[in-house]
Amino acid sequence: MATFTSMSFIFLLLLVLSFLSFIAPLVEDTLTRNSFPEGFVFGAGSAAYQFEGSAAEDGRGASIWDYFTHQYPEKIKDGSNGDAANDFYHLYKEDVKLAKEMGLDSFRFSISWSRILPTGKVSGGINTLGIKFYSDLIDELINNGLKPFVTLFHWDLPQGLMDQYGGFLSNEVVDDFQDYANVVFAAFGSRVKYWTTLNEPNLSAEFGYSLGLHAPGRCSDYMRTCKAGDSATEPYIVGHNLLLCHAAVVELYKTRYAYQKGIIGIVVSTNMVVPMNDTLADRLATRRAIDFNFGWFLDPIVYGDYPTTMRSFLGSRLPNFTAEQSTSLKQSFDFPGLNYYTTFYAANSCSYNSVNISYSTDSRAILSSYKDGVAIGESTPSAWLCIYPQGLQYLLRYIKARYNNPYIFITENGMAQKSNGSLADNPTILQDAQRIRYYNEHLHYLLEAIKEGSRVGGYYAWSFLDDFEWGSGYTTRFGLTFVDFNTNLKRYPKDSYYWFKNFLAQDPVMDA
């Protein structure tokens, strides 16, 4: 059980208080890859639905994101979808060449479950063309000196499983996910040594089942934006089944595929939180906000149960693990992957609504990027993302103290620009000085955390290419490489690409 002594609780509160030491960014022009430990891996990321396109090509089955974007285009800012995305499916060789030229050690991508199993089930048949695509991609990466870092599930559940039994709302999904992973490990495991089971299950559960803003678009009736759902219970049911999926696949990998000698983890969204005011109420709200965000998934895989704050606040709405499930979850990782973008202030909520109950308000903490009208850091085109690089160091201090200093990867870190036309219309579009500052300062604070003893094995920028950014569609660009969606999807490296290339142009990183 995830229990802590009162002294541990006081220590963590004091730790959170220390996050408020607002110090000037550590900017040193001398930072290079050689500043980091030997064997440290630098990479960039992608995801199947956001990158691949070719949604109905070569036997791929539909996913919930295909269905969602076509049925509810009003929930995508520009009404778009990932049918074509940036056509990584056809252009991956060009993109791998760009990644090699940049000097990356590794490339992170996800596998489309429905490209491997079109119905979501092994009994529905394995798509050999899907197997061939990922096999060719893996070979291309390895032949270009890039380590494949593979995520099994990045939000694109096969629609067939949603239709058949409600997808992650049913624990039937656990066996199907394990069967899918078995096919993938058997096909690619001899060449892939870095695996993650799930990407940001906390956000998938929140945005898909509490807010209804992402696939499958479920939320309570009172929100008047969803046709079905229950924001008070479904996020926790889905989160529970996602955790059981993770544990089942890790057990499979550790038993049947141990001979492949890879490592496996889970990727969690971990935006940091600091108290709005130096009061006990806001410090407690900060702790709750953290627990309801990433403690929701990290506590079970470290300690075997949900945070005690969630148990006490949610009661019967939070599912229970059996003793066997708790044992299988405990320490079910070689590493957690942490996706960090920004930090928020947390204030205690004094107006909890006991009628319209929702995961989004259950923590009774109000999160904001602003205090007294002043942003926590430099603003960006994404309203939710202010640049607060020291938050990454605070996060790693917290992870080290709360979870016994696990070996970790920073699996996403980045910021977006507005999408403003084609290169021909806007020749300055490749000049992304703000993104360069963002990466430079975050890498400095990451290095400081490593010097403090955090065990970090690698860092992945998000994202390698401009892509389909979920509810934002193509209105924002996170890429190091510009994709001209108006002109044959042509790729143009941005200034940040060349900044990273210069940063990485040192002695090669040794094999991890």
Q: Which residues contact residue 286 at a Cβ distance below 8 angstroms, ignoring those fewer than 6 apart?
A: 16, 273, 274, 275, 346, 365
119 domain-assigned:
yes
Distance CA 210, CA 314 (A): 15
Q: Which of 4-8, 24-28, 224-228 has the highest mean pLDDT?
A: 224-228
459-482: pLDDT as tens digits = 999 999 999 999 999 999 999 999
230-239: pLDDT as tens digits = 999 999 999 9
- Average pLDDT value for the chain: 93
Q: Among residues of the chain, what percentage have pLDDT more than 70?
A: 93
Among candidate residues 390, 341, 361, 230, the one with its CA nearest the CA of residue 289: 361
Among candidate residues 113, 81, 109, the one with its CA nearest the CA of residue 465: 109
22 domain-assigned:
no
149 domain-assigned:
yes
Among candidate residues 394, 410, 412, the one with its CA nearest the CA of residue 402: 394
The secondary structure of 336-358 as a DSSP string is EEEE---EEEEEE-S---SSS--
Inter-residue contact 61 to 112 (CB < 8 Å):
no
The secondary structure of 253-280 as a DSSP string is HHHHTGGG--EEEEEEE--EEEESSSSH
12 domain-assigned:
no
The tally of domains found in the chain comes to: 1
Burial class of 326 by CB neighbour count within 10 A (0 to 12, 13 to 18, 19+): middle
32 domain-assigned:
no
Q: Which domain holds residue 172?
A: 39-504
304 domain-assigned:
yes
Catalytic residue among 412, 441, 448, 452: 412
pLDDT of residue 374: 97
In this structure, how many other beta carbons lie within 10 angstroms of the beta carbon of residue 369?
Answer: 18
Q: Which band of pLDDT confidence, cut at 50, 70 and 90, is reported for residue 29?
A: low
32-72: pLDDT as tens digits = 999 999 999 999 999 999 999 999 999 999 999 999 999 99
Q: Which residues contact residue 252 at a Cβ distance below 8 angstroms, ignoring those fewer than 6 apart?
A: 178, 181, 182, 185
16 domain-assigned:
no
Residue 400 has pLDDT above 60, yes or no: yes
CA distances to 90, 92, 153, 413, 510 from 95, in Å: 10, 5, 22, 20, 23
Q: Which residues contact residue 10 at a Cβ distance below 8 angstroms, ignoring those fewer than 6 apart?
A: none
In this structure, how many other beta carbons lie within 10 angstroms of the beta carbon of residue 171?
Answer: 14
315-344: pLDDT as tens digits = 999 999 999 999 999 999 999 999 999 999
29 domain-assigned:
no
CATH code of the domain containing 125: 3.20.20.80
Q: Which residues contact residue 223 at a Cβ distance below 8 angstroms, ignoring those fewer than 6 apart?
A: 211, 212, 231
Structure-model confidence comparison of residues 493 and 419, the more confident one: 493
Whether 412 is a known active-site residue: answer yes
156-206: pLDDT as tens digits = 999 999 999 999 999 999 999 999 999 999 999 999 999 999 999 999 999
pLDDT of residue 23: 41
Structure-model confidence comparison of residues 8 and 267, the more confident one: 267
pLDDT of residue 507: 52
Residue 511 has pLDDT above 70, yes or no: no
In this structure, how many other beta carbons lie within 10 angstroms of the beta carbon of residue 17?
Answer: 14
Distance CA 137, CA 115 (A): 14
65-123: pLDDT as tens digits = 999 999 999 999 999 999 999 999 999 999 999 999 999 999 999 999 999 999 999 99
